[in-house]
A and B are shown apart, each in its own frame.
Chain A
């Protein structure tokens, strides 16, 4: 939401914009996440800042270990690695995150889970980015009938509560990694569509767009060369938040029982495997939960940094 205003003039501007806010839950949900720490303003002056570097290091660690999982010296995530006596034992030197109910190393499972969870998170948001972004730019550029037509499927998707839509798609299509990815892409596309459309609407009124059109620029050229580069920063910052949202959604789906099949290691499924053991072996659910929390925190923070760097006007979203 709008940053703290400095002058009365600015505050009036913000007031008008919040009044004009379309009642749209998804944009608002995302919008609310944007309100990061107040350091955002300082960051524009002094490079990335300490917090951003921590976030980047954490994400690099997670992504790196996920990519390198097959070559890392960690136990197999789906074959027993601990003697039966150690089942459900807590963190130790051999098993930093403890052992689960079937003798699997939780640390190794969290790393292998990152592979699937991050895959689902990024691929579905990239899909949503492409579909939602394209539809949003087309919808914002051609305001009339074409714009309306492009918006119809997006509005329909927004008519369902996000998690319920994903749950329904996965339940009836089948619980594979690709189906979960598709379901979450369907959920994230309309959010990115809204952002792209709103952003395009304001950019396409600008003089340089008019100038390009006056010089005989084709619609396609105007959209890709003039509007797209300006819309990208806003979409990119929302996409980072989107990956976080999707990672959480994967966990939620798994807990409801509409996620990826239990034999595939994802963060959500590891939590589910520890759900019945909260009393005796709480570490099984606890460690993947913490990893999800820090990953979401890092992604939110970076999304915030991108927004501040490119001076994305939230009000335009």
Chain B
């Protein structure tokens, strides 16, 4: 329990640091922020905005102002072409990005787990060697390269799936939604298959050498059951953790893949905000992503020690 309290405390500190740095980012900007956000505004308009953003205040007052807004969902505004709250765009974009990441994760695990088990069981065979070589190739395939290949062939040349999307939200039209999501999901998920597969394979090989597996086999339990119900569970701890932590890479990948398929998720919003120099919005997106990532890391850390009692003991004695 004490360990848990320490972790919560650390989480709070890290969230504060991360938001502070996200806030600090905007101060790195060379020149006057207001001149960039509304380059064509009159002096009076600029002065109003300057007051609005609290740019005349003390630095820490500004941070406090910004943070208290951030906590209650006041994420600032877009100022060009019209003044609209960032939270509106966030509301439509965030679900799409989260959906994409979720699908990619499901896809990669759905392939990685069976292949991980099979290659571990058949370790050293030709099947294992081929799978490993393919996995090694997939690891070198950047998600945007795969995305471009899919967009060119499946999307443009063969026209099997749509690329430029006016995607329907999932609840309205699930099938249509999936049609748009399929290629981005593949582009984002395939690279992860290799990571997860290799991880599960090496853990599984180790587990298969344990005494209790020999016992299970000698009792005459079918191989299939030994693999799935005896060996998989103890082998999947690292996989679960990595799958959780890998979201950091998935976030970056999702931003890129969305751009290529024109999915109106966070990546597209970020690009648009950068292009239109809406730095308040960029700052918000960066802060949201960072906080999400930090909280997720925290949850994975907790999950890890809950799932595996050996970790708790190891840390307690260390």
Interface residues of A (CB under 8 A from B): 1-5, 8, 11-12, 14-15, 18-21, 23-26, 28-29, 32-33, 35-38, 156, 159-164, 167-169, 171-174, 244, 248-249, 251-252, 255-258, 271, 275, 278-279, 282, 285-286, 289-290, 292-293, 296-297, 300-301
Contact = CB atoms under 8 A, between A and B. Distances in A.
Most A CB contacts (10 A, CB to CB) among B128, B247, B256 go to B256
Contacts of B21: 156, 160
A282 B253 CA distance: 22
Contact of A286 (B152, B252, B289): B152
B145 A292 contact: yes
B148 A285 contact: yes
A14 B148 contact: no
A82 B67 CA distance: 54
27 contacts: A1-B198, A4-B124, A5-B209, A8-B209, A19-B310, A25-B297, A29-B195, A35-B136, A156-B18, A159-B17, A159-B290, A161-B251, A161-B290, A164-B286, A164-B289, A171-B25, A172-B26, A251-B144, A252-B143, A252-B144, A255-B256, A256-B267, A271-B144, A275-B260, A278-B163, A279-B157, A296-B142
Given A25-B246, A251-B142, A252-B252, A278 B148 contact: yes
A21 B166 CA distance: 43
A249 B163 CA distance: 23
A12 B304 CA distance: 20
A32 B132 contact: no
Interface string B11-26: 0001001100110011
Interface of A is mostly: helix
B123 interface: yes
A257 B270 CA distance: 9
Contacts of A24: 245
A23 B304 contact: yes
Nearest to A13: B206
A35 B202 contact: yes
Interface of B: 14, 17-18, 21-22, 25-26, 28-30, 123-124, 128-129, 132-133, 135-137, 139-145, 148-149, 151-152, 155-157, 163, 194-195, 198-199, 202-203, 205-207, 209-210, 237-238, 241-242, 245-249, 251-253, 255-256, 259-260, 267, 270-271, 274-275, 279, 282, 286, 289-290, 293-294, 297, 300-301, 304, 308, 310-311, 314
Interface of B is mostly: helix
A289 B18 contact: no
A300 to B, nearest CB: 5
B252 A162 contact: yes
A233 to B, nearest CB: 21
Given A37-B133, A271-B144, A279-B156, 12 more contacts: A5-B205, A23-B304, A35-B202, A161-B248, A168-B282, A174-B30, A248-B144, A252-B255, A256-B255, A278-B152, A279-B157, A289-B142
Contact of A293 (B28, B145, B255): B145
